Amino acid sequence: MPHWLLKTEPSEYSYDDLERDGSTLWNGISNALAQKHLRTFQLGDRAFLYHTGKEKAIVGIVEVTGPPEADSDAENDKAVAVRVKAVKRLPRPVILAEIKADPAFAEWELVKQARLSVMPCPATLWKKVVSLSKGA
DNA sequence: GCCAACGTTGGC
DNA sequence: GCCAACGTTGGC
């Protein structure tokens, strides 16, 4: 089961908002590579939610609750959106600085390609982030 | 607030 | 189809 990372600007839509809503349609993704990733999402896949802007931290885990569907808001009629639900907040946020400080993450798009908003998260990195979130 | 990185647009 | 100009994102 693949894992992912979704970015969001918390002043626009935060993990708090998702917890309040229960689930939301993750739409408005226009970048071609991000769309390519989004199209391969499957029911039950899990993703980290990352807050950009002031926070720059992975804050929680979400789960895909349906297959990719047409993003009816998008100008591009091939664009897809995916419904996700909140699973759990991480015990503590894992900030970008500590991710960058660890060479294990050096090849991850989160570090290498700052502007990509939907990306895969290799299983080893997933475990590492979860483990970091349990630390001090 | 600045700017590097990257994507998109449009003239040729 | 190339590439210069421009716009956007997001870290700093």
A31 C-beta less than 7 Å away from strand B: yes
pLDDT for residue A42: 96
pTM: 0.94
pLDDT tens sequence across A37-66: 999 999 999 999 999 999 999 999 999 999
Average pLDDT of the segment spanning A128-133:
97
Question: Using alpha carbons only, what angle is made at residue A126 by residues A123 and A131, rounded to the nearest 5 degrees?
Answer: 130
Average pLDDT of the segment spanning A63-79:
88
Nucleotides on chain B within 7 angstroms of protein Cβ: 5-8
pLDDT band at A73 (very low <50, low <70, confident <90, very high): confident
- pLDDT above 80 (res A136): no
pLDDT tens sequence across A11-31: 999 999 999 999 999 999 989
Query: For chain A, how many helices (H) and strands (E)?
Result: 5, 7
pLDDT band at A78 (very low <50, low <70, confident <90, very high): confident
Structure tokens at A64: 């895909």
A30 C-beta less than 7 Å away from strand B: yes
Question: Looking at chain A, how many residues does it have?
Answer: 136
A96 C-beta less than 7 Å away from strand C: yes
pLDDT for residue A135: 82
- Separation of CA A84 and C1' C6 in angstroms? 35
Place of tokens 């739409």: A27
Q: Is the dihedral of CA A66, A71, A61, A19 positive or negative?
A: negative
φ/ψ (deg, to 5) at A101: -75, -20
